Amino acid sequence: MQKIKKKYDSFHILLTSIVWSTREFDSQIKLKLRKLNLLRLVYVILVILTSLISVFSLLTPPKSIQEEWGTMVIVLQIFTFFFFLFDYVTHFITYRKYKKLNKKTRIWKSTLKYIFSFKGIVILLCVLTSLHVIEYIAYIDNETLKTVNLFKILNLSRFLRLFIVLTYFAPFAIIVNAFSKQKKILTYVLLIAFLLILVFSILIWNTEGVHLEETQLQWLSDKNINQSDWKIYLTYLGLFGNEQEIFFNSNKEILEPNLSRFNEILQEYKDLSNGYVISFIDALYFSTITLTTIGYGDYLPHSSLTKIIVSLNALIALAIIAIPSGVIAGAFLNETQEHIKNKYKHKGENKSD
């Protein structure tokens, strides 16, 4: 009985080391380090390939191989479902070992911790996105199939799983560690950026809206068009069917003599708003691309006040971008140096062994 328990414990530690891609338990595993690293690498590659399989279903093959391609995609999707199910179960049964939870920690607590952990949620979503393959294995009614197919929209979770497993490789691990160690500073900077974007969006939307209205009124004045007549015309254009006909008859004395002329200059009126921020979404977009110092030229500041606001936004952006850039660069440097030190340390330990 003790031999079986020892074998189970050894296998459990080995499985933990492989599925969690961790080197913490290497000293407890009898397997040679090269073989252990190879097993970890094989599992990582399997996760990467399985995460990328969803891309195959988006490809359109030549007509000559469409049938074979369809069969291959179905087989790959079935494999994906069972692999992610295996991935979820193995992470679940090794979670206590990986987190080094003692016997005092109750099973239901560790179970809930895993279920609601970031990695646990991501892998579960990966399983759910592949749930539709059940229709190829067993019979399910149309209503159930429709419900199951809704999970396909969660395909993004596979790319999250891909990103998680890529941390096995040093460059990705350095990036993740650098961000995680500086997450407080970066969160504060991001929060400030969001608040600034919101404030500048409201200011730009208001000033540009007022300026556009003044420009349109000046244009109407230059064309000798009565403002109220033009408003009636625009209201008429916004109606359809019987409503438009009824509105025309009730405002016939204004619309009938001016309709043809108004139709001719309508496009000129519409062109006045080109490049203007006319909605809050536009203002949000314009403020964001200004704060990130990108700018595409699709929107331009027109009023003098907006130009001042945008200039101020751009100047603040330089300071906001400089802070996280310096923090991240410093964190990357520290992580790289730490990785190099650990690498030489492990090499020295291996030689002494």
How sure is the predictor about 349, in pLDDT bands with cuts at 50, 70 and 90?
low
Residue 172 has a pLDDT of: 82
Task: Tokens for 217, please give them.
Answer: 């009124």
**For the purposes of burial, counting CB atoms within 10 Å of the CB of 220, is it exposed (0-12), middle (13-18) or buried (19 or more)?**
middle
**For the purposes of burial, counting CB atoms within 10 Å of the CB of 138, is it exposed (0-12), middle (13-18) or buried (19 or more)?**
exposed
**For the purposes of burial, counting CB atoms within 10 Å of the CB of 53, is it exposed (0-12), middle (13-18) or buried (19 or more)?**
middle
- Let me know: does 198 contact 340? Beta carbons within 8 Å: no
- What's the CA gap between 204 and 310, in Å, rounded? 8
In degrees rounded to 5, what are phi and psi of residue 253?
-65, -25
> Would you tell me how many other CB atoms lie within 10 Å of the CB of residue 43?
20
- What's the CA gap between 309 and 32, in Å, rounded? 64
- What's the CA gap between 328 and 185, in Å, rounded? 10
Q: pLDDT tens digit string along 289-320? A: 888 777 777 888 999 999 999 889 888 887 77
Q: pLDDT tens digit string along 148-175? A: 778 778 888 888 898 888 888 888 888 7
Residue 353 has a pLDDT of: 52
Q: Which of 56-60, 81-85, 294-298, 313-317 has the lowest mean pLDDT?
A: 56-60
Q: Which of 146, 157, 25, 28 is nearest to 87 (CA)?
A: 157
How sure is the predictor about 46, in pLDDT bands with cuts at 50, 70 and 90?
very high
Q: pLDDT tens digit string along 223-277? A: 999 999 999 999 999 888 889 889 989 998 998 888 899 999 999 999 999 989 9
Q: What are the domain boundaries of the chain?
A: 2-167, 186-332
Task: Tokens for 326, please give them.
Answer: 């310096």
